[in-house]
Structure 1
Amino acid sequence: MKSNNFKNRLTALALCFTLLLGAAPITHAYAVNDESDTSSSQSDSDSSDTSSTDSGSKDSKDTKDMTADNDKDVIAAASEAPAVTATAALLISPDSDMVLYEKNADKKRYPASTTKIMTALLTLENVEDLNETVTAEQGDFTKVTADSSNADIKVGETVRVIDLLYALMLPSANEAAYMLARHVGGTSEHFVDMMNTRAEELGCTGTHFCNPCGLHEEDHYTTARDLYLIARETMKNDTFTNIIDTVQYRMPKTNMHEERIIFTTNQLIFSSFNPWSYPYNKGIKTGHTSQAGNCFVGYAEYGDAKLYSVVLGSAASSKEYPTVAASFTDTKSLYQWGFTHFKTKTVAKKGDTLAHVKVDLSTQTDQLVLTAKTDLMALLPADVETDSLEATPNLPEAVDAPIKAGDVVGSMTYSYNGTSYGTVELVALSDVEMSRVLYYSDKLSHFFQSTVFKIVLIAAAIFIVLYILFNITFGGIRRRRRRKAMRKRYDNDDYPRRHRR
């Protein structure tokens, strides 16, 4: 019996040891630390703050940073905004496009490998079958330096598009970027044209791409706000959201490689045991070159709240964790501040009566009840209640019947201290029938008030005036001629004698 108990205990210990090993991150083998993506101080491992049970703001070293309240380059929607090492930064709520924090958000910066978000977007928009294969060519490596980030793909190797996307977004493989560019655009040059065209379509005003991977070129630049627009569009694709929230991926065996594991360079999600990690971050993309500094475009969810972040030009290492690029701690501090100082609140509920508008052409009613078409959720400062918001309607003075229930009539915008927090469409609560008598009366009234009628009326008046003037002028002349003729006839010697007889 004792022997069996000893064996059971030994087995249990072995099992616990195995589980602990499985939780630890595997040694990184393929995401090379170089100038195209990862920081020179970055260890390519990541974790979450296990000491906090909320948005990560409690008892964290990151919250001890000095605030940016006195930084003239920072515009923040709440106090105690964090100071970041990034030369440009943006924190924004995608639900309302409300900017919580910005620093030089429209200044041109080098994007490094955050460029690859656009490369992924165009690939996902133009390739229907992600199981299509691409064979690496020598030209895919021409502009890729030997020490740049890669997935160890070889010339002649055939790789599926989906695997190239994972290689693009996790270890930030530059050869994968050129392979996808050639596959989608025919040539990498044409693909770059597609990138710039798509950026313009998304509303980017400070972006110009020169290559699909982000390796430094003087004319290859963007802004923090433009990167947000690109990331927001790309995040609409479910495949992309799955890829960027992946820590490690097993690339299948190819004609030149056995199965291999590739790892993310995103330190915020790499390992939950590291204190600089952030459990609510869902990815997106890292970047680094010596010219761009450390860059990161991120997305996080906490409860119902969602935030996008962009930091460009962050320091090589953070103050708290010297082995970690400051782009990650900058981002984490922005998220902590954002989720602490702003809360998602219901501003309007679907079906709530929000306004009334006058109704014409109906005997049924002269007022139309307008309700919220959908729920309106907004990220508000934590100390602002929804009843403190200013509601500004955008409505016509009146609407004409007939009206169907659910017809969009206008909108209501909610703001506080000049900041807009969201807009909801207003719809008709019920049907309103049209009165035909009022309809034709209105048509007649509108005709008499129309420009056409006024022109006809003016033309008629002018004609009458001219006719009168004509008659006055030429009629008088004719009458005078007739009188003169009569006098001549009367004065004629024969006239009196003829008439006297």
Structure 2
Amino acid sequence: MLLSRIWHRKLCRAAAGLFLLLWLIFPLEASAGEPQIEATSAVLMDALTGQVLWSKNPHERLPQASTTKITTAIVALERGNLTDLVRASKKAAEVGEASIYLEEGETLTLEELIYALLLRSANDAAVAIAEHIGGTEEEFVNLMNAKAREIGAGNTHYANPHGLSAPGHYSSAYDLALIARYALQNPKFREIVATKEAVIPWPGKPWDRLLVNNNQLLWGYYEYPGADGVKTGYTREAGQVLVASATREGRQLIAVVMHSPNRYREASLLLDYGFEHFTRRVLMPAGKTVAMAPVSRGLRDTVPAVTAGQVVVAVPKDVPAEWQQDIEILPGLTAPLKQGDKVGTVVFRWQDHKVAVDLVAGRDIREQPWWLAFLQAFINIFHFPWVRLS
């Protein structure tokens, strides 16, 4: 009997040890599908709606390394001409670390330099672009910071166009996702970041420059089905950083990991989680009248407030979601109004998720002629409530 009890205790201890070992080896099994991310900060965002589907320390300010170049590229694409000839300065040629070995006086097109910027992560290309667009590197950095503010990236500040460590140069996982979402709306940016390799000239050499995209989600061991961008980053201070995007069945997701032990694996885990656990749902069609907005000084005193676009949300596949609808009409609407002018917003909320779409005027509202406005004022003064001029 005693021997039996001893063996029973040993078996229980062995089973408990085995369970602990399996839990340590396979931690994902214990989290009901939640991604296990070791990165200091991470975000998973739906590219269409901007909803955050999963996050860890999303607003923590951290060094962003070469993911800086997303903003460098978008400022260059919006302010420059792809066929512009850009002459490399001595300062650009001397920038260290990742480069395409520009020489002082060498000339390439802006398009070629943006390819070098986003595929090879060339720091010399970043400075050459900055000086060409901004006149000086410092003025270009001011443009970058203005663009970040415009996008809504409140925890981002740039000190240079390339991302080498510098005081006051930081971003957050949420901001990087926000910036990438904005940049991916530019067709040329989308084309470049999805390119696996490209060839650009190397003046004075018997061969051209081969640019291989640093983002290994596009190729090689970590290749991810549907991957279509965006940008890698690494410095000793920042660690491994990755802004990644992938599209499946028309759904595009953006994953960001900062200071990660394995950026490709962790970004893949986030993307898998998003594709497996979320789907999209249409809450309201475009052109739907949701309210009658009051208008002053018009031939009509109200205008139909209609949705400017389709309201689409990302929702968990297995969880019913009841979205609360709030209609916000702009105060003080005054004629004349043209069909399509913004008159308000409709906001949908569920838990921490929020999606909004503009409400626009469903028809033109002409301004009252002066004599009609005068007559209406006269009627109001002398209290003839049964008379209505509209």
Matched with 2:19 is none
Asked whether the 8 Å contact 2:64–2:258 carries over to 1, the reply is yes
Q: What is the alpha-carbon distance in structure 1 between the residues aligned to residue 193 and residue 69 of structure 2? A: 12
Q: What is the alpha-carbon distance in structure 2 between the residues aligned to residue 209 and residue 217 of structure 1? A: 9
> Which secondary structure does the structure 2 equivalent of 1:378 belong to?
strand
Task: Rate the CA distance shift 1:349–1:208 in 2: closer, same or farther, 3 A.
Answer: closer
Query: Which of the numbers 306, 310, 316 marks the counterpart of 1:375?
Result: 310
Query: Which of the numbers 273, 291, 301 marks the counterpart of 1:337?
Result: 273
Report whether the alignment pairs 1:135 with 2:81.
no
Q: How does 1:293-304 map to 2 (within 5 A)?
A: 293-304=239-250
Give aligned-pair identity as a percent. 31
Report whether the alignment pairs 1:99 with 2:73.
no
Matched with 2:180 is 231
TM-score of the superposed pair, with normalisation by structure 2: 0.77
Matched with 2:191 is 242
Asked whether the 8 Å contact 1:362–1:438 carries over to 2, the reply is no
Matched with 2:98 is 149
Report whether the alignment pairs 1:312 with 2:258.
yes
Q: How does 1:247-266 map to 2 (within 5 A)?
A: 247-256=196-205, 258-266=207-215
Asked whether the 8 Å contact 1:409–1:428 carries over to 2, the reply is no
Which stretch of the first structure deviates more once superposed, 186-195 or 400-409?
400-409
Report whether the alignment pairs 1:66 with 2:28.
yes
Query: Which of the numbers 383, 391, 415 marks the counterpart of 2:325?
Result: 391
Q: What is the alpha-carbon distance in structure 1 between the residues aligned to residue 140 and residue 172 of structure 2? A: 20
Asked whether the 8 Å contact 1:92–1:101 carries over to 2, the reply is yes
Asked whether the 8 Å contact 1:370–1:429 carries over to 2, the reply is no
Q: How does 1:215-226 map to 2 (within 5 A)?
A: 215-226=164-175
Asked whether the 8 Å contact 1:68–1:83 carries over to 2, the reply is no
Asked whether the 8 Å contact 2:95–2:123 carries over to 1, the reply is no
Give a deviation string over 1:331-365, Cα, whole Å, max 9, x none. 1111111122211121112344545678999999x
Query: Which of the numbers 354, 374, 380 marks the counterpart of 1:420?
Result: 354
Task: Rate the CA distance shift 1:378–1:390 in 2: closer, same or farther, 3 A.
Answer: same
Query: Which of the numbers 213, 238, 241 marks the counterpart of 1:292?
Result: 238
Matched with 2:146 is 197
Q: One-letter code of the match for 2:281?
A: K
Asked whether the 8 Å contact 2:280–2:313 carries over to 1, the reply is yes
Q: How does 1:206-221 map to 2 (within 5 A)?
A: 206-221=155-170
- Measure how far apart 1:120 and its partner are: 1.3
> Which secondary structure does the structure 2 equivalent of 1:221 belong to?
coil
Which stretch of the first structure deviates more once superposed, 326-335 or 230-239?
230-239
> Which secondary structure does the structure 1 equivalent of 2:58 belong to?
coil
Q: What is the alpha-carbon distance in structure 1 between the residues aligned to residue 335 and residue 139 of structure 2? A: 53
Asked whether the 8 Å contact 2:286–2:307 carries over to 1, the reply is yes
- Measure how far apart 1:424 and its partner are: 5.2
The runs of 5 or more residues in structure 2 that have no matched partner are 1-25, 384-390
Asked whether the 8 Å contact 2:65–2:238 carries over to 1, the reply is yes
Matched with 1:28 is none
Task: Rate the CA distance shift 1:439–1:220 in 2: closer, same or farther, 3 A.
Answer: closer
Asked whether the 8 Å contact 1:359–1:399 carries over to 2, the reply is yes
Q: What is the alpha-carbon distance in structure 1 between the residues aligned to residue 295 and residue 263 of structure 2? A: 56
> Which secondary structure does the structure 2 equivalent of 1:170 belong to?
helix
Matched with 2:77 is 124
If asked which structure has higher relative contact order (CA below 8 Å, sep 6+), I would say: 1
Task: Rate the CA distance shift 1:255–1:428 in 2: closer, same or farther, 3 A.
Answer: same
The runs of 5 or more residues in structure 1 that have no matched partner are 1-63, 70-78, 316-325, 450-501
Q: How does 1:40-55 map to 2 (within 5 A)?
A: none
Query: Which of the numbers 227, 240, 248 marks the counterpart of 1:281?
Result: 227
What is the aligned-residue RMSD (CA, Å)? 3.8
Matched with 1:57 is none
Q: One-letter code of the match for 2:28?
A: M
- Measure how far apart 1:282 and its partner are: 1.3
Task: Rate the CA distance shift 1:160–1:441 in 2: closer, same or farther, 3 A.
Answer: closer
Pairs aligned (count): 358
Q: What is the alpha-carbon distance in structure 1 between the residues aligned to residue 51 and residue 317 of structure 2? A: 15
- Measure how far apart 1:425 and its partner are: 2.2
- Measure how far apart 1:301 and its partner are: 2.2
